[in-house]
Structure 1
Amino acid sequence: MQAYLAVALVFMINMAGTTLPTAIYHDYQRAFGFSSATITVIFASYAVGVIGALLTMGNWSDQLGRKRMLITGLAASAVSALTFLFADCLAMLLLGRLISGVSAGIFTGTATVAVIESSPPESRAKAMLAATSSNMLRLGFGPVLSGALVEFAPWPMRLSYIAHIALLSLAVLLLRGSPETVRVSEHPKLRIQRLALPRGVRAAFVPVALSGFAGFVVIGFFTAVSPQVMCDVLGYCSGLLIGLAVFLIFICSAIGQAFERRIAQQWRQRVGCVALVVGLMCLIVCASQRSTIAFLIGTILCGVGQGISFRASLGELSNRSPAERKAEVTSAFFVVLYVAISLPVIGIGIAVQSLGISRATIAFAVVTIVIVLISLVLLRRVEKPQ
């Protein structure tokens, strides 16, 4: 196996673990008597760990080495799985998600760069695709794995984590056989990642950050709240079906990212945002009419739109950023994205308790549509003639 494929497989195994609880949330809710808001808080604690790791360790692999940081990320993932395995209270579930977020924060930048650096020049384009668009596929494998085990195997709240620990052992073996791609510093000077926006980037950052924010709010909704929509609104409570539905939005996001380059540059953000808006309108129809077809179409369009707008946003920021400031700008962008995947979802959980799942879904879709439309208006103002 080529080195970059081995590192990509390690990336997949680790990130799949971050979405394992998705198909198990319903079991946690029944077993511990949690409210919808509590479930979304458990989900959102993941983002706290991601943001903390991005800010503190985002650039450490440049000095400590890619492999050393990836091993650290795998170790954090194993600790998270063990915490979930023995969890018997809310505090342990929160801790497990927090540590899982730390693992993802370490991997998000380091593994992406490691996959690309491990590839030979003739495979660089394939490696870049494996490191970017396929990341969503990795996240989608977790709910499918846990959903299948919840549906057909014993120990619904335990077995998924045992399986993940076994896969992490395989990941360590793959990583040990992979080459180090940077020179390890003998006297590393570690520092917190600085977040800053160069003057020439600020005007463009707001609209692309808003569209990225909206896309990741949608991802957060599907990962944390859509299981309740499927069960309470549509009547599908199968763990496997819930896992497949969550996988669908991730695979559609990957398709959107792969398709993005085929769209003329000036239209990429617009196409992605329009797909998001139409997908969210389908969610409104789903919640009001209890329509499974509307849910499926909305999931597909939201996934494709999120993928297109996400990759277009990254490309826009990269093109406008000075070479020596790209990492800072990208880190700032990812912080916005992980805030989007956490805080709004807690708000949705609170809304579910007061409004009910159908009305809360409609309110979520309307607010998110407004955010997307605002981003389109602002994007038009900062566009330069091609």
Structure 2
Amino acid sequence: MSACPSALTAAPPTTNAPLLRAAWVVTAVFILSSAATPLYGHWQQQLGFGAGTLATIFTCYILGLLATLLVAGQLSDHFGRKALLLPGLGLAMGAAVLFQLAESVAVLMLARLLTGVAVGIIVSAGMANVVDQAADSHKRQASLLASVAMVLGAGTGPLLAGVLAQYSAHPVAIVFNLELALLALALWVVLAQPRQPRATSALKLRLPRVPRDSVGHVLRGIAFFGPGITCTSFVLSLGPGLFSAFAHVSSPLIAGGTAFAMFMVGVGVQFAVQRLAVKRIFLLSGLATVLSMATLWLAVHQVSIPCLIVAALLAGAGQGLGQLGGLSLIALHVPANRRAEANGVFNMGGYVPAGALPVVAGHLIDLHGMAVGVSVLAGLIAALALAALLSLGRTDRPR
């Protein structure tokens, strides 16, 4: 298969500094993506909306993310990473300003929509940009760094916001002014990158796809990343409320700390398994996801805080491992000039169930109670992970 001429295939830098700078861009935007989580209680009190409206606000983020993933990878592979990252960071900064100014649900919805668009650009162009900085012999290490950068940002955002919301009278202004400073640093990093020449062929937008001989690798990654990230979304949405109900304590610090611990496990396990074959990484991911859902079910039925904590930690491990395995396969088997598009397909496969299923669970809980809602969705996520594990058993050798 012929590749379009592009500077994306130029010799990568030999030092770690470009890799770390590119990873920082990913982290900064993912801090924004999750910083609002502990602050929704504040906005609910200020604006007077309920759980149904909160689900709609969350849906705006998913819609912005998925719509962007349809085109961001193709645009990045055609025009270059920098051409996409600059407007992506601009939209992220606009979202941070809107969060500060939000005095209505409509403004919050717009802020979340812009955040979803910015994250869609980052998971396509930003994560491909990290891998582009590495030599061919270090693509797996670059995939690890890109994955860790994403998870680190997703965990840091709610912890930072939770601490500030717990101890500050004006947490929204402080959180998002700080995020503006972090995004400004990321913008400086991208501005310092050389601009890549656009591909010589004409751009024809279409539904995102990957090269035919790489489809199996991307689907294998989605099979594990999808249940893993759905698992963390489920635990993230339910965990703080369950903890408050079990312990009879309500605190934004609990919400932020739960998310941080979960995602930090996701970071740690990726470093721990980085030298394992991808097949074994997927095996661990599937097992962690199944065990997380089993433990969450047990936590609800036994009203157990320790089980709830274990479920959150296992969820972080399941997502982190599935994400690392999927990104590693893309780095190893997808050409550089199609890598951002493949990242987009990979993330769409994960975020569709991660966005839809927790909302379904919320409605089930409203209609039939916590035990029924948790049991149905935990069983579904565990079944998806088990199906992925069974398909893994039919492959020949670890890759």
Structure 2 Cα separation of the partners of residues 162 and 184 of structure 1:
34
> Aligned pair 1:168/2:146, yes or no?
no
Q: Which residue of 1 aligns with 2:197?
A: 184
How far the C-alpha of 1:87 sits from its partner, in A, is 1.6
1:224-235 equivalences under 5 Å are 224-235=237-248
Deviations 1:315-334 (A, max 9, x none): 45666668876655443222
Q: Which residue of 2 aligns with 1:209?
A: 222
1:63-142 equivalences under 5 Å are 63-118=78-133, 127-142=142-157
Q: Which residue of 2 aligns with 1:17?
A: 32
Q: Which residue of 1 aligns with 2:170?
A: 155
Q: Which residue of 2 aligns with 1:47?
A: 62
Q: Which residue of 2 aligns with 1:349?
A: 362
Q: Which residue of 2 aligns with 1:384?
A: 396
Structure 2 Cα separation of the partners of residues 143 and 223 of structure 1:
10
How far the C-alpha of 1:300 sits from its partner, in A, is 1.4
Structure 2 Cα separation of the partners of residues 270 and 186 of structure 1:
38
How far the C-alpha of 1:161 sits from its partner, in A, is 1.7
> Aligned pair 1:281/2:294, yes or no?
yes
Structure 1 Cα separation of the partners of residues 31 and 386 of structure 2:
32
What letter corresponds to residue 104 of structure 2 in structure 1? C
How far the C-alpha of 1:273 sits from its partner, in A, is 0.8
Cα RMSD over matched residues? 3.1
Among residues 364, 371, 374, which one is paired with 2:384 in the alignment?
Answer: 371
How many residues align structurally? 383
> Aligned to 1:185, what secondary structure does the other structure show?
coil
Change (3 A) 1:213 1:51: same
> Aligned to 1:133, what secondary structure does the other structure show?
helix
Check conservation: 2:244, 2:250, Cα contact below 8 A.
yes
What letter corresponds to residue 179 of structure 1 in structure 2? Q
Structure 2 Cα separation of the partners of residues 165 and 354 of structure 1:
40
**Bigger mean CA deviation after superposition, 101-110 or 323-332:** 323-332
Check conservation: 2:132, 2:336, Cα contact below 8 A.
no
Q: Which residue of 2 aligns with 1:302?
A: 315
Structure 1 Cα separation of the partners of residues 190 and 349 of structure 2:
30
> Aligned to 1:165, what secondary structure does the other structure show?
helix
How far the C-alpha of 1:189 sits from its partner, in A, is 4.5
How far the C-alpha of 1:339 sits from its partner, in A, is 0.8
**Bigger mean CA deviation after superposition, 351-360 or 275-284:** 351-360
Structure 2 Cα separation of the partners of residues 252 and 28 of structure 1:
29
Structure 2 Cα separation of the partners of residues 156 and 355 of structure 1:
35
How far the C-alpha of 1:96 sits from its partner, in A, is 0.9
Structure 2 Cα separation of the partners of residues 190 and 137 of structure 1:
34
Q: Which residue of 2 aligns with 1:5?
A: 20
Taking structure 2 as the reference length, the TM-score comes to 0.84
Change (3 A) 1:307 1:170: closer
Check conservation: 1:26, 1:227, Cα contact below 8 A.
no
What letter corresponds to residue 300 of structure 2 in structure 1? A
Change (3 A) 1:345 1:207: same
Deviations 1:244-301 (A, max 9, x none): 1101121111223333334444433222211111121111122122222111211111
5+ residue gaps, structure 1:
none
**Bigger mean CA deviation after superposition, 202-211 or 249-258:** 202-211
How far the C-alpha of 1:384 sits from its partner, in A, is 2.5
Deviations 1:219-261 (A, max 9, x none): 2223333222222344342212211110112111122333333
Deviations 1:189-243 (A, max 9, x none): 5443542366666667656533322111112223333222222344342212211
What letter corresponds to residue 28 of structure 1 in structure 2? W
Q: Which residue of 2 aligns with 1:29?
A: 44
Taking structure 1 as the reference length, the TM-score comes to 0.87
Among residues 253, 262, 272, which one is paired with 1:249 in the alignment?
Answer: 262
Q: Which residue of 2 aligns with 1:269?
A: 282
What letter corresponds to residue 39 of structure 1 in structure 2? L
Structure 2 Cα separation of the partners of residues 15 and 384 of structure 1:
36
> Aligned to 1:47, what secondary structure does the other structure show?
helix
Structure 1 Cα separation of the partners of residues 69 and 46 of structure 2:
33
% identity of equivalent residues? 24
Check conservation: 1:28, 1:157, Cα contact below 8 A.
no
How far the C-alpha of 1:67 sits from its partner, in A, is 2.9
Q: Which residue of 2 aligns with 1:60?
A: 75
Q: Which residue of 2 aligns with 1:336?
A: 349
